Amino acid sequence: MAGWSIHEGQAVVLDRRDVDTDQLIPARFMSASRAEGYGRFLLHDLREGDAEFPLRRHPEASVLIAGPNFGCGSSREAAVYALVDAGIRVVVAESFADIFAGNAVNNGLLTIATPEAAALRAAIGMGTAPACIDLASRRLSVAGSEQSFELTETAQAKLINGWDDIDLTRAHAGEIRNFRDRRKTDHAWTWPSR
């Protein structure tokens, strides 16, 4: 996955709270392999019957301003694939479900949790607004307002470098082996009996 440090694009509003993963991608699409592309599944059933749906009116948008508790529900990473494959790089909301936020970072998608989300939704309304996100300085500017956001060092490094945890972890292979050996001696019962 390619990393990124600055993103400029158009922000669009999804004025809903509790956008769950079943809405982000209905279960029936989840057997597709990633190579087929997940973008067309994004919010499929919500946008299908609604010509005014924000992402239909502004398919070029790459920054989504949504409501609280975004991404709640299942651990399906396909919800993140659908966003990323539809061209979304950043989601801004009051809050995110924990698993979703973790999955997002692993796929180059930035989640910005901020109480300002409501004001941004009101400012942008049904239209779009130019947005700029800088990972290095942790700054978000959109619809004429500018603010900083929180981002852990780990998440920042992963997004900028497109890093994958597997490589990072394998650098600790020795430590892991030692831990395993100790566990096998001290807590042999943790291995399943057959």
169: contact with another protein by CB under 8 A: yes
The position carrying tokens 């057997």 is 31
* Residue span binding another protein (CB under 8 A) among the ranges 58-66, 124-132, 134-142, 167-175: 167-175
Q: How far apart are CA 83 and CA 63, in angstroms?
A: 10
Task: Name which of 16 and 57 has its Cβ closer to another protein.
Answer: 16
CB of 164 to another protein, least distance (A): 8
Task: Name which of 9 and 19 has its Cβ closer to another protein.
Answer: 19
The position carrying tokens 């992402």 is 55
192: contact with another protein by CB under 8 A: yes
> Quick one: residue 151, left, alpha or beta (phi over 0 = left, psi -120 to 50 = alpha)?
beta
152: contact with another protein by CB under 8 A: yes
Q: Which of 12, 64, 67, 159 binds another protein (CB under 8 A)?
A: 67
Q: Which residues bind another protein (CB under 8 A)?
A: 16-18, 20, 22-23, 26-28, 30-31, 33-34, 45-46, 67-69, 72-78, 80, 95, 97-99, 102-103, 106-107, 118, 152-154, 164-166, 168-170, 172, 175-176, 179-180, 183, 187-194
